[in-house]
């Protein structure tokens, strides 16, 4: 079973996501938050060392999927992967999925035993998922 790491500028977001995703996975998936910078929970930022520790804490030979918010979260995640030995780095993947939806979907699919690749594909589907369909969109189709 793969492991999951949630990288956010906010520790509160990363911790909260862990709580939400854990429920979707039925407590069966190893997951870790890597949010914020330093000891103060309200300081925003991302920290490669924290991300690296999170990867190690959920490490699995099946791989680790990293879900990130944006900007320096991606760069810090890449830096964390650079610290890993080659044989571990190639089993890690940074997802393009949006953080919240991706975490929910990834936790569910990881919990069903899906591979790193399949879990990421399902999570990245969230890029195209509509939340609401507005009447205006039907009108536009008719114009």
- Residue 108 engages other proteins in binding (rule: CB under 8 A): yes
Q: Which stretch, 1-9, 65-73, 79-87, 105-113, contacts other proteins (CB under 8 A)?
A: 105-113
Instruction: Measure Cα distances from 135 to 75, 98, 139, 142 in Å.
Output: 39, 25, 7, 11
Nearer to other proteins, 82 or 125 (CB): 125
Site string for other proteins, 29-68 (x = CB under 8 A): ----------------------------------------
Figure out which of the listed residues 38, 82, 117, 125 binds other proteins, where binding follows CB under 8 A: 125
Nearby residues of 130 by Cβ (< 8 Å), 6 or more positions away: none
The least CB distance from residue 98 to other proteins, in Å, is 11
Residue 22: other Cβ atoms inside 10 A: 17
SS (H, E, C) 41-96: CCCCCCCHHHHHHHHHHCCCCCCEEEEECCCHHHHHHHHHHHHCCHHHHCCEEECC
Q: Which is nearer to other proteins, 14 or 126 (CB)?
A: 126
In the residue annotation, 109 being an active-site residue is answered as no
Just list the catalytic residues.
Answer: 9
Residue ranges binding other proteins (CB under 8 A): 23-24, 101, 104-105, 108, 111-112, 122, 125-126, 129-133
């Amino acid at each position: 079973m793969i492991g999951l790491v949630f990288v956010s500028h906010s520790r509160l977001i990363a911790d909260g996501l862990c709580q939400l995703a854990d429920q979707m996975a039925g407590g069966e998936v190893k997951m870790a938050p890597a949010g914020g910078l330093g000891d103060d929970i309200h300081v925003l930022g991302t920290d490669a060392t924290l991300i690296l520790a999170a990867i190690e804490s959920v490490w699995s030979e099946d791989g680790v999927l990293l879900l990130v918010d944006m900007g320096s979260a991606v760069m810090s995640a890449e830096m964390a992967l650079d610290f890993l030995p080659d044989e571990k780095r190639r089993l890690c993947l940074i997802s393009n999925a949006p953080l919240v939806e991706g975490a929910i979907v990834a936790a569910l699919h990881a919990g069903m035993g899906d591979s790193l690749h399949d879990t990421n594909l399902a999570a990245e589907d969230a890029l195209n998922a509509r939340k609401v369909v507005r009447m205006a969109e039907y009108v536009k189709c008719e114009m």
